[in-house]
Amino acid sequence: MSARVGAFRGCTRETAGTVNFRRGRVRDEPDINLVPFIDILLVIVIFLAVTTTYSRYSELQINLPTADAAKATERPAQINIAVTAAGTYLVGRTPVSFSTPEGFSNELKRAAGANADPMLVINADGRTTHQSVIRVLEAARLAGFGRITFATQNASQK
């Protein structure tokens, strides 16, 4: 056995001149850890997705095609429903009063007559409430009418 030199454990005369702090370890090669890199990229993607403003449809400039065809003059399976700004309802040209959607549904069925599924054209004033139009849609649903359209006017006709 070799004699111990100094107060350090494991230090012998053969190893007294060298200091080896990494005894028994193989030198590790440096490598790039990709997990933090991926985490940072994910945070950047989330940040960009949250802060990006998307274009709105109202900002799009769309030129719609035009047609020179004449309007159809006869529409036998059509019921015109007018809703005024005051909230009064007219089926055809006749004012209608009702208290429930079922009552208005009966008026629509009476106006349709023998027609099983007429086209309902809703002419609502621009200042009428949304609820007034929803009442018409609810009555049409209760009556079993699925063909519904809204009448509009051109900006030049105002």
User: How high is the pLDDT of residue 60?
Assistant: 45
- pTM for the whole structure: 0.49
Please provide the DSSP assignment of 28-92 as one string: PPP---HHHHHHHHHHHHHHHHHHPPPPPGGG---------PPPPS--TTEEEEEE-TT--EEET
Helices (H) and strands (E) in the chain, counts: 3, 5
Chunk the chain into consecutive blocks of 10 residues (it has 158) and report each block's average pLDDT, rounded to whole numbers.
53 59 68 90 92 60 57 69 84 83 86 83 83 88 85 62
User: How high is the pLDDT of residue 13?
Assistant: 59
Write down the domain spans for the chain: 78-152
Instruction: Check residue 24 and give left, alpha or beta (phi > 0: left; psi -120 to 50: alpha).
Output: left
Best CATH choice for the domain 78-152 from the list 3.30.420.270, 1.20.1250.20, 3.40.50.300, 3.30.70.1450: 3.30.420.270
